[in-house]
A and B are shown apart, each in its own frame.
Chain A
């Protein structure tokens, strides 16, 4: 994947973590293509720019077999410590990562092909991500 879509990939990772399943690169690319075509992600400058984080989560969960899952993304800086995950934001790098409920890093999108790409440091802000799964069909 090109650099940049860290928020997109972090949201996909939240769905993977919740369901305990992994999506292939091809599946992730297909989700990106579909959401880009529908205008839910992407700008002229960045293919994976996320416009609607909940839509990305729902698309990933649908691909993972949970089309009726409910998702909620909380407000910036108002993490409760009780959600399933958090989206970590590191302002100095304008970078997004997936964190656990307390904000500790859980998934680093830049690590996909080279651990040296990992961004370390404290999160500037956290956002809660809550996913409620309903049984697979």
Chain B
């Protein structure tokens, strides 16, 4: 094979590889437990309701007590029952995870990292990264369930 063609082929492979590594996930919207969401879809849940709400400029369905991520807000934020934090940054962490750098709404110095893990079906789960003691205390006040068994799915985005 001609050397030039080989170079072009290598360049294409590198480009494709980088594209895969740099996939930007859209986390903006309302997230709820997969189990809750599926039950709500089936209409099985008494008392649970859903509202339409604009998040990051798009209309989303928000089931009660959903986790909200809005990276278009100023400041960006993540809220869950029992807690709300400002998102300082979301940085790729390996190929399937992101470090979500959070800080307290009360203090700029109180920070913590939540690791957002992506699954192939676009659902996510969280693990705990490094946290300041004060942030850890604040985090423990929240009702966010963390761990591989706690799968969150994004509620529907409504086409406008």
A43 at the interface (CB under 8 A from B): yes
In Å, the complex CA distance between A62 and B62 comes to 32
CB-nearest residue of chain B relative to A87?
A: B143
Q: Which of A1-9, A18-26, A29-37, A98-106 contacts B (4 or more CB under 8 A)?
A: A1-9
B75 at the interface (CB under 8 A from A): no
Partner of A53, one of B39, B65, B141, B145: B141
In Å, the complex CA distance between A110 and B140 comes to 26
Q: What's the tally of chain A residues with a CB closer than 8 Å to chain B?
A: 35
CB-nearest residue of chain B relative to A94?
A: B36
In Å, the complex CA distance between A46 and B48 comes to 12
The answer to whether B64 touches A53 (Cβ under 8 A) is no
Known contacts A45-B62, A51-B79: does B49 contact A91 (CB below 8 Å)?
no
In Å, the complex CA distance between A71 and B96 comes to 40
In Å, the complex CA distance between A76 and B140 comes to 7
B109 at the interface (CB under 8 A from A): no
Per-residue contact bits, chain B 27-41, to A (CB 8 Å; 1 contact, 0 not): 000101101100100
In Å, the complex CA distance between A91 and B144 comes to 11
B68 at the interface (CB under 8 A from A): yes
How far, in Å, is A94 (CB) from chain B's closest CB? Answer: 4
The answer to whether A91 touches B65 (Cβ under 8 A) is no
In Å, the complex CA distance between A110 and B84 comes to 25
CB-nearest residue of chain B relative to A55?
A: B141
Chain A residue numbers with a CB within 8 Å of B145 are 76-77, 89, 91, 124-125
Chain B residue numbers with a CB within 8 Å of A4 are 49, 64-65
Known contacts A53-B82, A125-B145: does B65 contact A94 (CB below 8 Å)?
yes
CB-nearest residue of chain B relative to A6?
A: B47
The answer to whether A49 touches B47 (Cβ under 8 A) is no
CB-nearest residue of chain B relative to A39?
A: B105
Partner of A91, one of B30, B36, B51, B64: B36
Interface residues of B in 57-72 (CB under 8 A from A): 62-66, 68
Known contacts A4-B49, A76-B145, A110-B47: does B81 contact A50 (CB below 8 Å)?
yes
The answer to whether B47 touches A50 (Cβ under 8 A) is no
Besides the known contacts A43-B84, A76-B143, 4 further A-B residue pairs in the complex with CB atoms under 8 A apart: A45-B53, A54-B141, A73-B141, A110-B47
B-to-A contact residues, CB < 8 Å = 30, 32-33, 35-36, 39, 45-49, 51, 53, 62-66, 68, 79, 81-84, 140-145
